[in-house]
Amino acid sequence: MISLTDIKKGLLVSLWFVFLTFPLMVIKINPIDKVILWRWSNMYWVAGGSFLCYLAMQIYKTRKLTRQEHIKQGLIKEKPKMQFKLLSDPKIYLPTLAVAGLFFLAFPLLFSTYQTNIMITALMYVVLGLGLNIVVGVAGLLDLGYVAFYAVGAYSYALLHLHFGLGFWEVLPIGGLLAASFGILLGFPVLRLRGDYLAIVTLGFGEIIRLILENWNEFSHGPSGISNIPRPGFFGIHLGLEQSITYLYYLMILMVIFTIFVVNRLQSSRIGRAWFALREDEIACQAMGIDKTKTKLTAFALGAFWAGMVGVIFAAKTTFVNPASFTFLESAIILCIVVLGGMGSIIGVIIAALILILLPEYLRAFSDYRMLVFGAVLVIMMVFRPQGIVANIRRTYTVQKND
C-alpha cells in the first residue's frame, strides 16, 4: 500500500510543514517583557501530524485510482451509494425518521433547559442553513452577507417592539418579508455580477449593515444594542422562563418542519429546476429561455426570508440584540453548514447544522478550535467531497413504455 518513496516524500512534506509553522507554532514572544517561549512539543505534533496526513492522502488517492481503473475495466461495478440506498428504501428511512421524530419531540422532557436551549440554537441554524441552501446550494449564488438578513429580522423585532410595541407573532412574518425586501433591493443591482464578484459585494453589504448598526446610535442604539425584547407570548398567558424555552423549542420544531416542507416543494418545482440549471450553466440557462435576473432574485429573496424569520426568533430567544451577533463569521458558519451538508441537499444540511453546532457545545475541547475546523471543513470538502456528506439526489421518473 505504502511505498518507500511515499514515506520519503511524507518525510519531506512533514519537514516542510515544520519549517512553515516554526515561527508561529513554536516561538511565542512577549514583546513587552522581552521573553521568548519555545514550544518544542508543537513541532513534534506538526511533524507527526503532517506526515500521517500525507500518508492518509496517498492511500486515499491510490485507492480511488485503482477503483476507477477497475470500474473502467469492468472488474467491479460501480456500487450504488450506501446513502442513496438509505434514503430511497422506505423500510430503512421510515423507521429512522420515526425514531428521530420521537427523539426531537421528547427532547425538552428528557433533557435540561440548558440542553433544550442549545438545541434551539442548533434548530435555528438548521433553518438558516436551509435558507442559505436555496441561494448557495440550489441557485449557486455565493452569498457571503447572509447574516445581514438575519440582522434585519432581529432588529426589526427589536425596533418594532421598542417603538410600536408590536409582538413576536406580528413581527415574525414582517421580519421575514422585510429581509426578503432587503434581498430584492440588494439583489437588483448585484445579481448581474459574476459569481465571485457577487460573493465580495454581498460580503461588503453584510459588513456595511453591521457597521451601520454599530455606529448609528439614534437608530440602533449602537454597540450596546437593544435589550428587554419579550419572548413569544402564548395566547396571552404569561410563561415562566423554563416554560417559555420549552415553548420556543416546539416553535422551532414547527418552524423546521415548515421550512423543510417549503424548501422541498420549491426545489421540486419549475422554479427549483430553473435554480439548479442556473447553478449548472448560466448561459445555457438563458439560452433555454430562463430569465436569469428574475430567477436569481427569487432565490435571493426567498433565502433572505428565512434568515429574517430566524432573526426574529433569535431576538426573542436572547431578548437582546447587538451588532456583535452579526459578523462575517456568522455567515461563514452558515456557509459551512451548506457546504458540509451538500449543496442543495436538505437532509445533508440538517445533519451538518446539527453536527457543526452541537459538537462544539458538547466537546468543550473542540470548541476552541471551532472556527479553525470550520475553515478547514470548507477547504477539505471542496477538495475531496464537493458534493457534501449527503449528495443532492435528483428526482427520478418512471417511464411507461407503450409499445
Partner 1 sequence: MEPLLNITGLTMNFGGIRALDNLDLRVREGQIVALIGPNGAGKTTFFNCLTGIYKPTSGDLLLTPPGKKTRRLNGLKPNKVTQQGLARTFQNIRLFPNMTVLENVMIGRHCRTRAKVLGALFRNAGTVQEEQEIVALSLMILENMGLADMVNEFAKNLPYGDQRRLEIGRALATDPLLLLLDEPAAGMNPQETSELEELITTIRDDGLSILLIEHDMKLVMNLSDYIFVLDYGKKIAEGTPEEIRNNPAVIKAYLGEDIEDA
Partner 2 sequence: MDYFTELFFSGLTRGSIYALIALGYTMVYGIIGLINFAHGEIYMIGAFTALITSTILNIYGFPLPAVIILTVLASTIWAAAYGFTVEKLAYQPLRNAPRLSPLISAIGMSIFLQNYVLLAQTSDFLPFPALIPDFKFMEPYAGVIGTSDMLILVTTAVVMLLLTWLIKFTRTGKAMRATAQDQKMAMLVGINVDRVISITFIIGSALAAIGGLLIASHIGQINFYIGFIAGIKAFTAAVLGGIGSVPGAVLGSFILGLTESFATGYVSSDYEDVFAFSLLVLILIFRPSGLLGKASIEKV
Q: What residues make contact with partner 2 under the rule CB under 8 A?
A: 16, 19-21, 23-25, 27-29, 31-32, 34-36, 42, 140, 142, 144, 189-190, 193-197, 199-201, 203-205, 207-208, 211-212, 215, 283, 328-329, 332, 335-336, 339, 368-369, 371-372, 374-380, 382-383, 386
Q: Does 281 bind partner 1 (CB under 8 A)?
A: yes
H or E segment and range at residue 16: helix 4-21
Contact 145, 202 (CB under 8 A): yes
Q: Does 72 bind partner 1 (CB under 8 A)?
A: no
User: Cβ 248 to partner 2, closest distance in Å?
Assistant: 30
Binds 106: which of partner 1, partner 2, none (CB < 5-8 Å by kind): none
Q: Does 272 bind partner 1 (CB under 8 A)?
A: yes
Binds 262: which of partner 2, partner 1, none (CB < 5-8 Å by kind): partner 1
- Residue 154 Cα distances to 23, 160, 345, angstroms: 42, 10, 27
User: Cβ 13 to partner 1, closest distance in Å?
Assistant: 33
What is the CB neighbour count within 10 angstroms for residue 347?
18
Question: Which residue pairs, CB below 8 angstroms and at least 24 apart, start in 99-108?
Answer: 104/253, 105/253, 107/249, 108/245, 108/246, 108/249, 108/250
Q: Does 184 bind partner 1 (CB under 8 A)?
A: no
Q: Does 238 bind partner 1 (CB under 8 A)?
A: no
3-state secondary structure of 251: helix
Binding mask 295-324 for partner 1 (x = CB under 8 A): ---x---x----------------------
Binds 27: which of partner 2, partner 1, none (CB < 5-8 Å by kind): partner 2
What is the crossing angle of helices 195-215 and 168-190, to 10°? 130
Q: Does 394 bind partner 1 (CB under 8 A)?
A: yes
Place of cell 423546521: 256
The count of chain residues that interact with partner 1, using the rule CB under 8 A, is 31
Distance between CA atoms of 324 and 313, rounded to whole angstroms? 17
H or E segment and range at residue 29: strand 27-30
CB nearer to partner 1: give 275 or 374: 275
Binds 326: which of partner 2, partner 1, none (CB < 5-8 Å by kind): none
Q: Does 265 bind partner 1 (CB under 8 A)?
A: yes
- Residue 388 Cα distances to 78, 143, 332, 379, 383, angstroms: 19, 18, 16, 12, 11
Binds 288: which of partner 2, partner 1, none (CB < 5-8 Å by kind): partner 1
Query: Could you give phi then psi for residue 320, rounded to 5 degrees?
Result: -160, 135
